[in-house]
């Protein structure tokens, strides 16, 4: 990401908060006034506000992510009777879809670190479906060893502090020859659902330089990094394939309603929401107007249709 004009921008190097996160202060001169952003590296409080927001907006988020999850499931080539661990399963929608594929002879364990999302998944689980949910940090949870045919995830594996350690830990849950299949975002620059609103607000709240290694939705943007992490974790036969889809962002019965809904979603979940945390109302109002204009330039009647770009990643546990 290009660094903003140095004459308008000052940046204090990050310092440690002592809990694994960093804190940095960024000052920007905008329209004669200085805006200071104090940013902690994202900690994605999945047991707090992030988890609450994902529960609140679950239906819209599922609409947005459906095509990507379907592509990952196709790559996973699920067979009836298989045992699957769905990592960072959220509200369980992918776990239910996987359970349908494995049938009564198989089983799906959905694991997630967010109590709110696990509660939602348990509440929504259809009767007589071979699925269970576990509140767990997938990086360290004592999963049964050597029992799963497949580790699956839809956008749930980019938030580990030590990704190679986490994947090595989860790999031990796989049978010899067992598979890994997940979908993760390519870069924010490749994803218009982020790039467009962030560009629209650049002169209102300029971008904060991101650490590409920090746990974050875009932490796996670099395929070389994914490959290195999975190799370190002991996987082989690693394949990383681009997958593009039009994202139906937000939903409404009219175009105006859809644009308003997309705006609400952008301010509640994802990078835009984090850019605005703690900003005063006047800045938020100006930014909302700018983002609305950017969304209104996109096609779509009942959703704002925006390009999304992901990697479909598959790999294998050696042996078997």
Ligand X SMILES: C[S@@+](CC[C@H](N)C(=O)[O-])C[C@H]1O[C@@H](n2cnc3c(N)ncnc32)[C@H](O)[C@@H]1O
- CB 280 to ligand X: min, Å: 28
Query: Which CB, 159 or 243, lies closer to ligand X?
Result: 159
- CB 196 to ligand X: min, Å: 20
- CB 85 to ligand X: min, Å: 11
Query: Which CB, 162 or 203, lies closer to ligand X?
Result: 162
- CB 297 to ligand X: min, Å: 26
Query: Which CB, 46 or 267, lies closer to ligand X?
Result: 46
Query: Which CB, 95 or 317, lies closer to ligand X?
Result: 95
Sites of contact with ligand X (CB under 6 A): 46, 61, 65, 88-90, 93-94, 111-114, 117, 137-139, 154-156, 159-160
Q: Are 177 and 207 in contact (CB under 8 A)?
A: no
Query: Which CB, 114 or 317, lies closer to ligand X?
Result: 114
- CB 70 to ligand X: min, Å: 11
């Amino acid at each position: 990401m290009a660094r903003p004009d140095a004459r308008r921008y000052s940046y204090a190097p990050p310092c440690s908060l002592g809990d694994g996160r960093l804190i940095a202060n960024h000052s920007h001169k905008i329209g004669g006034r200085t805006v200071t952003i104090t940013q902690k590296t994202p900690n994605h409080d999945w047991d707090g506000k992030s988890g609450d927001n994902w529960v609140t907006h679950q239906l819209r988020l599922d609409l947005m992510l459906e095509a990507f999850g379907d592509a990952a499931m196709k790559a996973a080539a699920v067979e009836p009777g298989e045992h699957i661990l769905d990592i960072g399963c959220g509200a369980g929608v992918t776990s239910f879809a996987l359970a349908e594929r494995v049938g009564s002879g198989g089983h799906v364990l959905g694991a997630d670190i967010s109590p709110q999302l696990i509660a939602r998944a348990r509440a929504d689980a259809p009767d007589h479906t071979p699925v269970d949910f576990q509140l767990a940090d997938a990086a360290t949870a004592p999963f049964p060893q050597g029992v799963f045919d497949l580790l699956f995830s839809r956008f749930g594996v980019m938030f580990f502090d030590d990704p190679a350690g986490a994947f090595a830990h989860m790999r031990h849950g796989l049978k010899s020859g067992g598979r890994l299949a997940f979908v993760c975002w390519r870069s924010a620059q490749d994803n218009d659902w982020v790039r467009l609103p962030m560009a629209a607000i650049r002169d209102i709240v300029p971008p904060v330089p991101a650490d590409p290694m920090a746990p974050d939705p875009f932490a796996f943007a670099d395929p070389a990094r994914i490959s290195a992490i999975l190799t370190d974790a002991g996987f082989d036969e690693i394949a990383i394939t681009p997958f593009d889809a039009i994202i139906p962002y937000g939903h409404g019965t009219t175009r105006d309603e859809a644009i308003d809904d997309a705006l609400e979603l952008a301010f509640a979940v994802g990078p835009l929401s984090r850019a605005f945390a703690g900003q005063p109302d006047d800045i938020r109002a100006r930014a909302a107007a700018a983002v609305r204009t950017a969304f209104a330039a996109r096609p779509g009647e009942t959703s704002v249709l925006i390009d999304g770009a992901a990697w479909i990643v598959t790999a294998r546990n050696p042996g078997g």
